[in-house]
A and B are shown apart, each in its own frame.
Chain A
Amino acid sequence: MNIFLYLDQETWVHRLDPRTKMISTLILFTLSLCFNHPLYMGGVSLAILGIAISARVLRNFWRFRFILLLLFVFSTLMWPLFTKGSTPLWAWGSFQVSRESLLYGFAMGLRLATFVGTGLILLSTTRNEELTNGLIRMGIPYPVAFAFSTSLRLIPTFAGAGATILEAQASRGMDLESGGLFSRIGKFLPQAVPLFFYAIRHTNLLAMALESRGFSPQAKRTLYYEPCMRRIDYAVIIILLIVLAALVYVRLGIKLGAVLPARL
């Protein structure tokens, strides 16, 4: 069972310094916040899709298609009900749907999907260890960075164990596929017990393995994948910052790109 996101490829995005990728991800998040007009927002989404294509990570987008679609549809349907615009189309009691709120909802759907997509690009092109090393070189204490990356690492392991536990119960006659939401949750809950024991045992063994390999959290250590900022790294950050400044100017200076200017 493979739930890892990292895709081992040789592209310019993969080769970037992990620090560059983390900073760029933050800039791209901010870029997605610039506009709430679907056309402008759509432009940002397309640009990020372009990056995903050149990083050859579309496979992960495809794997996450249901989540991406769900976020998009849910947001597009819900936002119009809670925002007010100047050209009403339909009203029912205190609920009203306007042309602006529809467009706003659409833009918000795009924004959410873009957020997830940006995160996917980061995790699909950066190894766990690279993220850790990047965080360390940014000044995060080693134990904190290591705890962060280990927890990322353990999620798939535990998910795999969880799947086995459910299979074991299904073969003893437990029917997980029928029943209402609450009865299903009720059936899932007892499964947490073996998973809990598995987690304790596993983390204990992991701690033993780490110590046996000479790991001690406070000590200095070499980084085999030593992050290294090259010219392209600086170029990427500078270009993204220029783009960000330009888009902020478009939104705040020229006052374009917003259906509901008062909202983010």
Chain B
Amino acid sequence: MSEAISIEGLTFTYRGGAPPALQNIWGQVEAGSFIGVMGHGGAGKSTLCSSLNGLVPGFFRGAYQGRVMVKGQEVAGHKVAEMSRIVGLVLQDFEAQIFSTNVELEMAFGPENQCLPCSEIDRRIRHYLAFLDLEKFRRREPATLSGGQKQRLAISSVLAMEPEILVMDEPTTDLDFKGRQEVLSVADNLRREGRTLLIVDHEPETMAKADRVWLMKGGQIVKGGLPGEILADVSTLKSCGIKVPPIPELFSAMGWPGAPFSAREAMALIRKHNLVRPRTLSLPESSRPGQRRPYLLQAEGLRYIYPSHGIEALRGVDLCMGEGEFVALLGQNGSGKTTLAKHFNGLLKPTSGQMLLQGRPTKEYSHGEMARLVGYVFQNPDHQIFSRTVLEEVGFGLKMLGEGPKRVEQLVSEALEVVGLEGYEEKIPFALSKGERQRVAVASVLALRPRVLVLDEPTTGLDYRHQRAMMEILKSLNERGHTIIIITHSMEVAEEYAGRTVVLKDGAVLLDGTTRAVFAAEDRLAEASLQASPLLQLSNYLGTKARTVGQMIEELQA
């Protein structure tokens, strides 16, 4: 087989960035093979992707050493527009790469630049719409598509240029379970077509499909090998800050043979070797949540219709939350999670029904009273940061409420301590890393000491290490008595941290109960297009109460 990509001693330093983003990278990719790339945030994965189609060094300037050959052509010697015919790059942020006013125009954009005749463009649009199962959306406005559909559109509009090599930078982050399955099935189809694939991803299930996996750390490829070898190498994965797939970890801790990744493989192995006898899961009925009175938050027949486009986002939600709960709101994109959460602090007012906070409708509270009771952290921390220093940023809400400078300083330093940023007062928020900015955003809400903290996707865009740090902060806040409500699409996060899980579907509550009970109801979850993580599927099969690997090992050994 011929070589599709050959990276020879590539070192790249962004202009103005001190440590090199890539250091002495060597790698060969055979035509028609599938390479998976894993690594922590800032490991150089995106830079590596950009170096394949010439964005590095054509678009991002900096010091460039070594060379990258793609199909026998040196990337650095060509323009991005020329390389784009051979290497299709799907960028990480799929929202930003979609810019046309309907789906077919979005797909036509690449072929238009290749000067193909309209009849050929039309053929390609039809072919790739069918390939990605998007035919019925041909005339739709991209903004009205779901996340998974948008990502598939981004992929199909790159595929319409028919590149021999397809590079996808984290194509499944920000997607719910269904969207992720949609994108992964595309990868399968592309392999069958014999195209060369390079995919950056965090999920072991994606990596398990690859021919080879490259593990990156600090701008270097620290290890390359078969997916089985890499994913089973627990110590290297840990040192690279990557989540260790839980099922192999369980098998190795229990001393069981094999290192399966999926729940199904694990169950088959357990049956085959008769490793443990599955029991029946018994969950105590008395621990039903939502019974802690008095209620802090109470939604009664809550309906909400967006005035601008008349879409009914909430269709009669009844939900009670007591003081001190840790609740995860789950549901597909568009199920009404964010709309519901925005009612908790009165950002949205019910169209009918009511939202009570401490027994009083939210609309009767002033902004100041509300901010002290319910804090809301938005999904993208950059939407709320605007001050010159962290002190000003975190103290903004306090100043708004008329606190004196002494008191502000004291409360700010307390809030920063909680999120692990003590001494950051004089730093510039925009110069911090994404994980730190996310923590500044939490601190700025926390400084007001609200009783309830609502967080929209607190772990999105953070790598595994930062995700854990963020969730540990929320856990300790919950232990201090704050009520925590998170919106998330990460099953693992909900499973491990939330005591109670509420699943929304089409603007109504589908499931509400203790997290373990909700994830035991696999059929009901499937109705909401959700699926428990492989570990919880296994836990359901074995009838254990465990929600984490540690708990499971303990329970099985007891």
B156 part of interface (Cβ distance < 8 Å): no
By a CB distance below 8 angstroms, the chain B residues around A128 are 101
By a CB distance below 8 angstroms, the chain B residues around A150 are 99
A208 part of interface (Cβ distance < 8 Å): yes
B501 part of interface (Cβ distance < 8 Å): no
- Chain A proximity mask over B74-89: 1 for CB below 8 Å, otherwise 0: 0000011100110011
B556 part of interface (Cβ distance < 8 Å): no
A225 part of interface (Cβ distance < 8 Å): yes
B110 part of interface (Cβ distance < 8 Å): yes
Contacts A197-B430, A212-B80, A216-B81; A224 near B400 (Cβ below 8 A): no
Closest chain A residue, CB of each to CB of B125: A224
Among B112-120, B181-189, B245-253, the stretch in contact with A: B112-120
Taking a contact as CB atoms under 8 Å apart, the answer to whether B113 and A172 are in contact is no
Among A39-47, A68-76, A188-196, A240-248, the stretch in contact with B: A188-196
- C-alpha spacing A167/B385, complex, angstroms: 12
B240 part of interface (Cβ distance < 8 Å): no
Taking a contact as CB atoms under 8 Å apart, the answer to whether B118 and A172 are in contact is no
- C-alpha spacing A222/B366, complex, angstroms: 56
Closest chain A residue, CB of each to CB of B454: A171
Contacts A168-B383, A173-B367; A215 near B113 (Cβ below 8 A): yes
How many whole Å from B20's CB to the nearest CB in chain A? 21
B286 part of interface (Cβ distance < 8 Å): no
How many whole Å from A148's CB to the nearest CB in chain B? 14
8 A Cβ contacts from A1-55 to B: 1-2, 4, 6, 8
Closest chain A residue, CB of each to CB of B98: A209
Taking a contact as CB atoms under 8 Å apart, the answer to whether A212 and B96 are in contact is no
Picked from B89, B110, B448, the residue with its CB within 8 Å of the CB of A173 is B448
B128 part of interface (Cβ distance < 8 Å): no
By a CB distance below 8 angstroms, the chain A residues around B99 are 150, 153, 206, 209-210
- C-alpha spacing A150/B111, complex, angstroms: 19
A239 part of interface (Cβ distance < 8 Å): no
- Chain A proximity mask over B57-92: 1 for CB below 8 Å, otherwise 0: 011000000000000000000011100110011010
How many whole Å from B102's CB to the nearest CB in chain A? 7
8 A Cβ contacts from A168-215 to B: 168-175, 190-191, 193-194, 197-198, 201-202, 205-215
Taking a contact as CB atoms under 8 Å apart, the answer to whether B109 and A127 are in contact is no
How many whole Å from A205's CB to the nearest CB in chain B? 4
How many whole Å from A88's CB to the nearest CB in chain B? 47
B139 part of interface (Cβ distance < 8 Å): yes
By a CB distance below 8 angstroms, the chain A residues around B382 are 194, 197-198, 201
Interface size on A, residues (CB 8 A): 50
Taking a contact as CB atoms under 8 Å apart, the answer to whether B91 and A205 are in contact is yes
B222 part of interface (Cβ distance < 8 Å): no
8 A Cβ contacts from B380-425 to A: 380, 382-387, 396-397, 400-401
Taking a contact as CB atoms under 8 Å apart, the answer to whether A173 and B59 are in contact is no
Closest chain A residue, CB of each to CB of B143: A2
B146 part of interface (Cβ distance < 8 Å): no
Closest chain B residue, CB of each to CB of A190: B386
- C-alpha spacing A9/B409, complex, angstroms: 58
Contacts A8-B139, A208-B91; A164 near B367 (Cβ below 8 A): no
How many whole Å from B291's CB to the nearest CB in chain A? 28
By a CB distance below 8 angstroms, the chain B residues around A264 are none
A219 part of interface (Cβ distance < 8 Å): yes
Closest chain A residue, CB of each to CB of B157: A213
- C-alpha spacing A6/B53, complex, angstroms: 35
- C-alpha spacing A226/B115, complex, angstroms: 13
Taking a contact as CB atoms under 8 Å apart, the answer to whether B118 and A4 are in contact is no
B236 part of interface (Cβ distance < 8 Å): no
Taking a contact as CB atoms under 8 Å apart, the answer to whether A168 and B100 are in contact is no
A223 part of interface (Cβ distance < 8 Å): yes
- C-alpha spacing A260/B401, complex, angstroms: 57
B93 part of interface (Cβ distance < 8 Å): yes
8 A Cβ contacts from B344-382 to A: 345, 347, 366-368, 370-372, 374-376, 378, 380, 382
- Chain B proximity mask over A222-241: 1 for CB below 8 Å, otherwise 0: 11111000000000000000
- C-alpha spacing A128/B396, complex, angstroms: 40
Taking a contact as CB atoms under 8 Å apart, the answer to whether B113 and A219 are in contact is yes
Closest chain A residue, CB of each to CB of B54: A211
- Chain A proximity mask over B425-442: 1 for CB below 8 Å, otherwise 0: 000001000000000000
B308 part of interface (Cβ distance < 8 Å): yes
Taking a contact as CB atoms under 8 Å apart, the answer to whether B158 and A173 are in contact is no
Closest chain B residue, CB of each to CB of A217: B81
B141 part of interface (Cβ distance < 8 Å): yes
Closest chain A residue, CB of each to CB of B104: A224
B55 part of interface (Cβ distance < 8 Å): yes
B105 part of interface (Cβ distance < 8 Å): yes
By a CB distance below 8 angstroms, the chain B residues around A222 are 111-112, 114-118, 121
Taking a contact as CB atoms under 8 Å apart, the answer to whether B105 and A173 are in contact is no
- Chain B proximity mask over A126-153: 1 for CB below 8 Å, otherwise 0: 0111000000000000000000001001
By a CB distance below 8 angstroms, the chain A residues around B59 are 207-208, 211
By a CB distance below 8 angstroms, the chain A residues around B385 are 194
B484 part of interface (Cβ distance < 8 Å): no
Taking a contact as CB atoms under 8 Å apart, the answer to whether A2 and B308 are in contact is yes
How many whole Å from A2's CB to the nearest CB in chain B? 5
Contacts A173-B400, A173-B448, A194-B382; A129 near B161 (Cβ below 8 A): no
A165 part of interface (Cβ distance < 8 Å): yes
Picked from A167, A169, A212, A221, the residue with its CB within 8 Å of the CB of B53 is A212
By a CB distance below 8 angstroms, the chain A residues around B102 are 8, 127
- C-alpha spacing A215/B235, complex, angstroms: 44
- Chain A proximity mask over B127-142: 1 for CB below 8 Å, otherwise 0: 0000000000001010
By a CB distance below 8 angstroms, the chain A residues around B110 are 213-214
- C-alpha spacing A130/B461, complex, angstroms: 36
Closest chain A residue, CB of each to CB of B396: A172
How many whole Å from A133's CB to the nearest CB in chain B? 10
Picked from B91, B112, B118, B384, the residue with its CB within 8 Å of the CB of A168 is B384
By a CB distance below 8 angstroms, the chain B residues around A164 are 378, 380, 383
By a CB distance below 8 angstroms, the chain A residues around B122 are 224
Contacts A4-B101, A172-B448, A205-B96; A212 near B383 (Cβ below 8 A): no
By a CB distance below 8 angstroms, the chain B residues around A173 are 367-368, 370-372, 397, 400-401, 448
A255 part of interface (Cβ distance < 8 Å): no
Taking a contact as CB atoms under 8 Å apart, the answer to whether A172 and B397 are in contact is yes
Assuming A173-B448, A201-B382, A205-B96, what are 12 further A-B pairs, CB within 8 angstroms? A4-B101, A8-B141, A168-B383, A172-B375, A172-B384, A209-B91, A209-B96, A213-B113, A214-B85, A214-B110, A214-B161, A226-B118
Chain B residues with CB under 8 Å of chain A are 50, 53, 55, 58-59, 79-81, 84-85, 88-89, 91, 93, 96-97, 99-102, 104-105, 108-118, 121-122, 139, 141, 143, 157-158, 161, 308-309, 342, 345, 347, 366-368, 370-372, 374-376, 378, 380, 382-387, 396-397, 400-401, 430, 444-445, 448
* 15 A-B interface contacts by CB (under 8 A): A128-B101, A167-B342, A167-B378, A168-B376, A168-B383, A171-B370, A172-B445, A206-B96, A207-B59, A208-B50, A208-B55, A208-B91, A208-B97, A212-B53, A221-B115
* 9 closest A-B pairs by CB: A173-B371, A209-B97, A224-B108, A168-B384, A205-B96, A172-B397, A214-B113, A171-B376, A214-B84
Chain A residues with CB under 8 Å of chain B are 1-2, 4, 6, 8, 127-129, 150, 153, 161, 164-165, 167-175, 190-191, 193-194, 197-198, 201-202, 205-216, 219-226
